[in-house]
């Protein structure tokens, strides 16, 4: 199963982002190989929608096109939920 996690890039690796819609990147993992991400995608919605609402819903639509089975996040707003 594919799992996606909103992340912050760090020198040491990736850190789980505090908020789903404001994460600068999303890492996709395969549950059978959780040691390293399959891929890391930039959050292209973030620069377009620096303020206002609706980021979570748009990001969720993008993620659903990737056939992801689960999302792991610290916080998620009502639009993405």
4-15 tens-digit pLDDT: 888 998 888 888
Write the pLDDT tens digit of every residue in 20-51. 878 888 888 887 776 777 777 777 665 555 55
Domain boundaries, the chain: 2-71
Write the pLDDT tens digit of every residue in 51-80. 556 677 777 787 888 888 888 888 877 767
Strands of 1-81, DSSP E? 2-10, 13-16, 25-30, 39-42, 70-71
Residue 16 has a CB neighbour count (10 Å cut-off) of: 13
Distance from C-alpha of 53 to C-alpha of 48, rounded to nearest angstrom: 11
């Amino acid at each position: 199963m594919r799992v996606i996690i909103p992340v912050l890039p760090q020198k040491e690796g990736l850190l789980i982002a505090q908020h789903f819609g404001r994460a600068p990147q999303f890492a996709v993992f395969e549950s059978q190989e959780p040691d390293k991400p399959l891929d890391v995608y930039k959050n292209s919605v973030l620069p377009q929608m620096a303020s206002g609402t609706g980021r979570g819903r748009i990001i969720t639509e993008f993620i659903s096109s990737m056939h992801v089975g689960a999302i792991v996040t610290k916080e998620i707003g009502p639009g993405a939920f």
